[in-house]
Amino acid sequence: MTARLIDGAKTAQRIRQEIAEQIRANKLSPGLAVVLVGENPASQVYVRNKGKAAEETGMHSLNHRLPETTTQAQLLGVIDELNHDTSVHGILVQLPLPPQIDAQAIIAAIDPAKDVDGFHPVNAGKLSLGLPCFVPCTPQGCMILLRETLSDLAGKKALVLGRSNIVGKPMAQLLLQADCTVTVAHSKTRDLPAECRAADILVAAIGRPHFVKGDWVKPGAVVIDVGINRIPNPADPAKTELVGDVDFAEAAPHARAMTPVPGGVGPMTIACLLGNTLKAAKKSL
């Protein structure tokens, strides 16, 4: 068996086209504000990509770049302005934030109706209750790819590797809503390989390059690799490359289908962010 590639880039492109069509057809003008504090190079790339993607669909994007020394009070002031700006429908604060700022306090200050990341406690609570809400973009994207790959998720054993508030926990909630039998594994889990081997669906989100080995993958499983890890390129150590949390070459002979890194979950995260922003703009009418 060699895994079928789950082409997240292609699905994301289709979703972005659909969003652009809806914006044109309904003469909408969704606004996405992206706030970046500091100079983290990876965050700068993410913020640039999100802003560019928003504009390509016909949204307007506002970039707020604040210095590394920004205080919590100053950032709360920016959030307050954006909460009251009627041209802004979605607010995204790029994480991580510098240590002097309490990220939870910032997330809690965002108007839940503009929380297109889905990280606000109101949206997280609604997700766990199964109520309509803004669903965090990365797990939302993973679910779209899973539904495209598997005709029926009900009763499948799903293992979510990682329990962060932004990926692991909401991913587990969504799989539960889809009637999977869900296990959440983390750094204290005993016999992780055995937990993985029992899973029909394996979602890896831990930020450890090539952590999941080939023989951890149940034959025929669907593997969603959320990890984004930059490592030295083995062929040319002066260069770097992006790899996932799963050892792709080892896992491919075992899995039925797998997402690549890059080109799997990453583009879906951006597409779902745009989808959430469109939803916020429509709800504000």
> Of the listed 13, 52, 74, 94, which one is catalytic?
94
The active-site residue out of 44, 80, 114, 117 is 117
Binding mask 55-84 for ligand NDP (x = CB under 6 A): ------------------------------
Lay out the site mask for ligand NDP across 238-277 (x = CB under 6 A, - = otherwise). Answer: ---------------------------xx--x--------
Q: Choose between 28 and 139: whose C-beta lies nearer to ligand NDP.
A: 139
Size of the site for ligand NDP (CB under 6 A): 21
Burial (0-12, 13-18, 19+ Cβ within 10 Å), 65: middle
Q: How far is the CB of 284 from ligand NDP (least distance, A)?
A: 26
Letters for 184-223 (x = contact with ligand NDP by CB under 6 A, - = none) are --xxx----------------xxxx---------------
CA distance 203 to 220: 14
CA 72 – CA 85 distance, rounded (Å): 20
SS3 (DSSP) at 57: coil
- Which is it for the CA torsion 106, 279, 170, 92, positive or negative? negative
* Residue 83 DSSP code: H
- 80 flagged as catalytic: no
Q: Do 123 and 165 touch, CB atoms closer than 8 A?
A: no
Closest CA relative to residue 250, chosen from 223, 226, 232, 228:
223
The footprint of ligand NDP on residues 125-184 (CB under 6 A) is: 138, 162-164, 166-168
Confirm whether 245 is a catalytic residue: no
* Closer residue to ligand NDP in complex, CB, 72/189: 189
Q: Are 121 and 277 in contact (CB under 8 A)?
A: no
DSSP for 92-131 reads: EEPSPPPTTS-HHHHHHHS-GGG-TT--SHHHHHHHHHT-
Report the nearest approach of ligand NDP to the CB of residue 237 (Å).
21
- Closest Cα partner for 68 from 38, 88, 110, 113? 38
For the question of residue 191 being annotated catalytic, the response is no
Contact footprint for ligand NDP (CB under 6 A): 138, 162-164, 166-168, 186-188, 205-208, 226-229, 265-266, 269
Catalytic positions, written as ranges: 50, 94, 117
